[in-house]
Chain A
C-alpha cells in the first residue's frame, strides 16, 4: 500500500465552553489539520444577561450598577463613559475636582486591569509565578478602590455632575505611596516575563494581525496599537480632562501577541504618569457640580466613546423624556476584538490559541452583556 494514497482529513474540535484558560465561559470550534488551526468559529452568549433590555427599566443612575457588572475588571472606566453620556444629555457640567477624581480612579483601574491581564497571560503560558506578582500589585490598588468607593469591584461611584463621595482623608499621600510600590512592582513584573526566552518564543510572531485587518474588524485599544496604529480615544477625542495631561501612547508594529503584551506594560507606566499629574493638580472644591434634583434628560441622543483598558468603549444613550433611558447600547471593545480572533488564529497551533485569546484580554461579561 503506497503512502501517498493515505488521505488526511481536517478535524473539527471543540474548546470550551468552560476551558480553564479561556477567561470565562467561551467556546470555540476549531477546524484543524493536525496541530495547525485552519479556521475558528467563536461562540459567545453564555453570559448574556440582557443588559440593554434591563437598563430600559432602570432609572438613569441605576443603569450604572449593570455597567459595573459588564466589564467587571474596569468598573470605573465603564461608569465614566456612561456618566459622560448622561451629563451631555442633561447639559450638566461636572465639578473640577470630580473630573480629577474620575480620571485618577480610571487610570488606577487601568493599571489593575492590565495587571490582571499580565497575570492571566503568564498563567496561559504555563507560568504561575507572574500571576501572584500581578495580584500583589492589584491588591494594593483594590485597597484604594475600596477606601474611595466602598466596594472592591462593583463601585457604583460616579454620579451625573460629580462623584458620590469625596476622597477620604489622606488619600493623596496613600495613593502616592501605593503608586511608588506599583511602579516598583511593574518593573519587577517586567523582569519576570518580558525578556524570558520561553515566553518570547511562545508569543513572538504568534497570532499576528495586520493593521488593515485590525481596522476592518473594528479592533481597538492595545490590539490596534500593537499593529502600529496610533489611536487612543484619550488623544484623538479627548474627554474629561485628558487634554490637560501629558502622556504618551505606546505603539508596537508587528501586531502579534508579544507586542500586545509590551504595549500594555508600557500603558501601565503611562497611567502612573497620568495619576501622578492628577495628584499634583487636583483642586479643592466641591465634589459635586450643580445637578437638577430629578435626573430627567430632555429628548435626545448621544454617542460617547472612551478609552477602556480593553479599547474603545462606546455608549449610545437615547432619551425620550421621562425617568428611564429609552435605549442604552453598549459598544464593547472585547466584542469587536473577539471578532478578529478568527483572523489571528489562522495557521497557529492549537497550543497557541490559548495564548492568543489571552492576549486579547477579553472579559466575557462585557462581550455577552
Chain B
C-alpha cells in the first residue's frame, strides 16, 4: 500500500513520487480553492513563505506519537504532517476504525476523548477529520481519512467512543456519507424527509446581495420617520 492511494486525486501524479515530496507539495489546486459560492474577487495574492501552520516545529509529544504510530502501523500505511506543531495522520478509510481502536486502547496512546468529528468536502474528495485528545496524557492528534465522492463510505467509530453518535449522524446527513455500522442513522438536525445535503460544496447557496426566496427586497415607498410620526396609523 502506498501513500498515493490515500489521495483519490493523486492518480495524475507520477506514481514514483516519494512520500516526503508529496507531504511538502500539498498546495491546493486552483479550481478547488474556489468554493462554488465564492465571489470572483476571492483570489488571493501569492503567499510569501510557508503558511503559519507549517512554520512551528513539531512538539515533543507529536514526535513521540509519530514514532508510536509508525511502530504499530508500519511506515507506509499513513501520511504524516505537522500542523502548528501537532501531528496530523492521514490513513486509508478501511483502516480508520482499527486506528481509532488502537488509539483508544493502547496504553501509550490512550486517546479517550473524541473532541470533534467533522467532514470536509474538498470537491475532489471528502475528508473525515477526527480530533482526538487524551485526558490523562494530555496529548492530541488529528486523524484524517479521505474518501471519494463515488463511494462515500466510512466506518462508524461509535464502538470506540459513544460520543461519536450524533457527530456521525450529522456527517451522514450533511455530506451524504454512508456511515457503516452506525445503529441509528436518521437525520439529526435537518427535517425528516429532506433529501438535501447542505454542506456539500455543490449545494447551492445564494450569495449575498442577490434575491433570496422569502426575502422582501422591494422596499416600496414607505418612509420610516413619517410612519413613526403618524403613530403607526398609516
Q: Hey, which bits of chain A sit against chain B, CB under 8 A?
A: 44-45, 48, 50, 52-54, 56-58, 88-91, 213, 215-219, 229, 231, 236, 296-303, 305, 312, 314, 316, 318, 320-324, 326-327, 329, 331, 335-336, 339, 368-369
- Nearest-CB residue, chain A, relative to B170: A335
Prevailing SS type, chain B contact patch: loop
The CA of A218 and the CA of B130, in the complex, are separated in Å by: 13
B38 touches A322 (CB 8 A): yes
A296 touches B205 (CB 8 A): no
How many Å from the CB of A323 to the closest CB on chain B? 5
A323 touches B163 (CB 8 A): no
Query: Number of B residues contacting the other chain (C-beta, 8 Å)?
Result: 52
**CB contact list, B115-130 vs A, under 8 A:** 115-116, 118, 120-121, 129
Query: Is residue B228 contacting chain A, with contact meaning CB distance below 8 A?
Result: no
The CA of A44 and the CA of B208, in the complex, are separated in Å by: 28
Query: Is residue B24 contacting chain A, with contact meaning CB distance below 8 A?
Result: no
The CA of A4 and the CA of B34, in the complex, are separated in Å by: 71
A320 touches B53 (CB 8 A): no
Q: Quick one: which of A45, A90, A216 contacts B189, CB cutoff 8 A? A: A45
The CA of A56 and the CA of B208, in the complex, are separated in Å by: 11
A316 touches B53 (CB 8 A): no
Contacts of B203 in A (CB 8 A): 53
The CA of A88 and the CA of B55, in the complex, are separated in Å by: 11
Q: Quick one: which of A53, A90, A321, A336 contacts B52, CB cutoff 8 A? A: A90
Contacts of A213 in B (CB 8 A): 162
How many Å from the CB of B45 to the closest CB on chain A? 7
Q: Quick one: which of B32, B121, B142 contacts A303, CB cutoff 8 A? A: B142
Count: A-B pairs, CB below 8 Å: 139
What 19 additional pairs, Cβ within 8 angstroms, besides A45-B190, A48-B190?
A44-B189, A48-B189, A53-B198, A56-B37, A57-B37, A88-B52, A90-B52, A215-B135, A216-B112, A296-B44, A299-B51, A303-B115, A305-B115, A314-B131, A316-B129, A321-B42, A324-B38, A331-B116, A339-B166
Query: Is residue B165 contacting chain A, with contact meaning CB distance below 8 A?
Result: yes
Q: Quick one: which of B114, B118, B121, B205 contacts A218, CB cutoff 8 A? A: B114
B35 touches A326 (CB 8 A): yes
- Nearest-CB residue, chain B, relative to A216: B162
A335 touches B115 (CB 8 A): no
Contacts of A217 in B (CB 8 A): 161-163
Q: Mark B45-80, 1 if CB is under 8 A from A, else 0.
A: 101000111110000000000000000000000000
Query: Is residue B215 contacting chain A, with contact meaning CB distance below 8 A?
Result: no
Known contacts A217-B162, A296-B44, A320-B32: does B115 contact A236 (CB below 8 Å)? no
Which of the listed residues A52, A54, A90, A326 has the most CB atoms from chain B within 10 Å of its own CB? Answer: A326
Q: Quick one: which of A236, A302, A321, A335 contacts B28, CB cutoff 8 A? A: A321
B44 touches A56 (CB 8 A): no
A296 touches B45 (CB 8 A): yes
The CA of A160 and the CA of B222, in the complex, are separated in Å by: 39
**CB contact list, B143-171 vs A, under 8 A:** 161-163, 165-166
Q: Quick one: which of A299, A300, A336, A368 contacts B33, CB cutoff 8 A? A: A299
B135 touches A369 (CB 8 A): no
- Nearest-CB residue, chain A, relative to B86: A303
**CB contact list, B15-31 vs A, under 8 A:** 27-28
Q: Quick one: which of B28, B34, B207 contacts A299, CB cutoff 8 A? A: B28
The CA of A331 and the CA of B131, in the complex, are separated in Å by: 10
The CA of A299 and the CA of B53, in the complex, are separated in Å by: 9
- Nearest-CB residue, chain B, relative to A368: B189
Query: Is residue B219 contacting chain A, with contact meaning CB distance below 8 A?
Result: no
Q: Quick one: which of A45, A48, A53, A305 contacts B199, CB cutoff 8 A? A: A53
How many Å from the CB of A185 to the closest CB on chain B? 34
A339 touches B52 (CB 8 A): no
Query: Is residue B138 contacting chain A, with contact meaning CB distance below 8 A?
Result: yes
A322 touches B33 (CB 8 A): yes
How many Å from the CB of B122 to the closest CB on chain A? 8
B33 touches A216 (CB 8 A): no
